[in-house]
A = this chain, B = another copy of it.
C-alpha cells in the first residue's frame, strides 16, 4: 500500500484529491498496489469539506510519517514549496509537482537529491497541464535526437488571440472578457508578457538538452502589441497569430530558445489549436514531426497529470525514476542571430523606404487606411533591429513569421 499526502489544497491540490478518490479503482490497478490519501496540508480550515479528515496544518506530521511514500506539491512558488520538496526527497519520499516555477528554477538540484535518496522528482503536470509531454519526450521519444520543440504553452494568451481573430476585437477588450470569465488572472502579466510560456519552454529545452536552460535568460516577448489590424493582414496572408515557445538545437549544439508571437500558416497543425488548448510540436531526427494537444491548464487536467506521476511513484517505491537533466547550465545560442521572415506593419508613406532597406519581400493586400504590411525575406534579428532603428515610429508593429 502507498499513502499519499497533498501539500496545498488549492485548485490543483483539490483536483488531485478528487482524482485519487474518484478514480481510485483505476489508480490502484495501474499502480499495482493500493493507493490511499492520508494527509492534506493547508494552513486554512475547510469545515464541511468531504476530505476534511485528511487535513493537517503541520508539515512535520507528513515529513515524519514513514507510511507516506508519495507527496504531491501543489502549493506553487519557490519558497516553502522548495524547502518542503527538498525535505521530502531527503527522507526518500517521491514528490510529484505541478509547480513549473520550482522545476524551472531548481529542477536538476531536486532530481539529484531524489536520485541520491532512491526516490523520484516527477513533474509531468508542470508543462502542458493534462497533455502528456514530459513522458513522451523522456520515454516514447527516448531513442531520438530531438531537434526542436515548438509549443503553444499558455492557455490564457491562446484564448485571447483566438477571440481577437474570431471577433476582430482589440487586445484590451478581449483581456477584460477573459478576466471576467476566469481565463485570465487579475494580474495577467505573467501570461500576457510571455513569462509563463518562458518557464515551460525552458523546462522542455532542458529535457531536450539534458542541461538547464535558464528561463530568465531567454528572449521573451508577449502579446500586448498585437492588434486587430495585425489579424486583418494575417487573414489576408492565410495566416493566424500564435504565441510560441521555441527551442531549436543549432548546428553547434547550442539551443536557440525564445518566446514570441508568430504569424503561422493556417495549414500548420499548431494553427488550429484554439481557445485555452495548448499543443507542443516536437521534431526528432528519426521520427520527424510529432504533436501533443490538450488542455494546458485547469483543475482536473492538471490534477490528472499529477496523479499519473503518483502512479509512477507508487510503482517505483524505493527506486529512482531516471531523468536526464544535469545540474549544469546550457550555453545558449545568441538570439540576435536567429533568422525569420518578419511581418512589418508600417505607415503607408514609409513603405517604399522599407522595401528599399529590406528588398525581396512582398506587400500584403488587406486594406487598412494609411497602412501597408510587408513580409520580409528571411533576415536575422540583428538586421531587423537595424532597419527598425532607421524607420523609427513609421513601423506600427512587427511579428515574426513561422516557417
Q: Quick one: closest B residue to A285, CB to CB?
A: B23
User: Counting CB contacts under 8 A, is A124 at the interface?
Assistant: yes
- Give the one of A143, A269, A279 with max B CB within 10 A: A143
B139 and A312 within 8 A (CB): yes
8 A Cβ contacts from A254-286 to B: 267, 269, 271-274, 279, 284-286
Q: Quick one: closest B residue to A30, CB to CB?
A: B142
User: Counting CB contacts under 8 A, is A379 at the interface?
Assistant: no
- Give the one of A29, A294, A303 with max B CB within 10 A: A294
Give Cα A29–Cα B136 distance, bound, in whole angstroms.
Answer: 16
Give Cα A210–Cα B26 distance, bound, in whole angstroms.
Answer: 11
Within the complex, the shortest CB–CB distance from A181 to chain B, in Å, comes to: 17
Q: Quick one: closest B residue to A273, CB to CB?
A: B269
B294 and A293 within 8 A (CB): no
User: Counting CB contacts under 8 A, is A336 at the interface?
Assistant: no
A23 and B292 within 8 A (CB): no
Give Cα A289–Cα B301 distance, bound, in whole angstroms.
Answer: 9
Residues of B within 8 A of A8 (CB): none
Residues of B within 8 A of A23 (CB): 143-145, 285-286
Number of interface residues of A (CB under 8 A): 57
User: Counting CB contacts under 8 A, is A195 at the interface?
Assistant: no
Contact of A269 among B29, B293, B308 (CB under 8 A): B293
B293 and A293 within 8 A (CB): yes
Contact of A140 among B271, B287, B305 (CB under 8 A): B305
- Give the one of A32, A285, A290, A293 with max B CB within 10 A: A290
B310 and A143 within 8 A (CB): yes
With contacts A140-B124, A142-B30, A272-B272 taken as known, whether A301 is within 8 angstroms of B324 at the C-beta atoms is: no
User: Counting CB contacts under 8 A, is A400 at the interface?
Assistant: no
A304 and B289 within 8 A (CB): no
User: Counting CB contacts under 8 A, is A246 at the interface?
Assistant: no
Integer count of this chain's copies in the complex: 2
Give Cα A294–Cα B293 distance, bound, in whole angstroms.
Answer: 12
A286 and B304 within 8 A (CB): yes
User: Counting CB contacts under 8 A, is A132 at the interface?
Assistant: yes
Give Cα A324–Cα B25 distance, bound, in whole angstroms.
Answer: 13
Residues of B within 8 A of A144 (CB): 23, 26, 304
8 A Cβ contacts from A112-135 to B: 124, 130-132, 135
Contact of A290 among B293, B311, B324 (CB under 8 A): B293
B140 and A136 within 8 A (CB): yes
Contact of A287 among B279, B287, B295, B315 (CB under 8 A): B295
Contact of A303 among B29, B286, B289 (CB under 8 A): B286
Within the complex, the shortest CB–CB distance from A34 to chain B, in Å, comes to: 15
- Per-residue B-contact encoding for A310-337, CB less than 8 Å = 1, 0 else: 1110010000001010000000000000
Within the complex, the shortest CB–CB distance from A302 to chain B, in Å, comes to: 9
User: Counting CB contacts under 8 A, is A27 at the interface?
Assistant: yes
B301 and A143 within 8 A (CB): no
Q: Quick one: closest B residue to A291, CB to CB?
A: B293
B286 and A300 within 8 A (CB): yes
User: Counting CB contacts under 8 A, is A378 at the interface?
Assistant: no
Within the complex, the shortest CB–CB distance from A274 to chain B, in Å, comes to: 8
5 A/B residue pairs, CB under 8 Å, sorted by A = A130-B287, A135-B136, A143-B310, A144-B304, A292-B293
Chain A residues with CB under 8 Å of chain B are: 15, 19-20, 23, 26-27, 29-30, 32, 124, 130-132, 135-136, 138-145, 210, 267, 269, 271-274, 279, 284-295, 298, 300-301, 303-305, 307-308, 310-312, 315, 322, 324
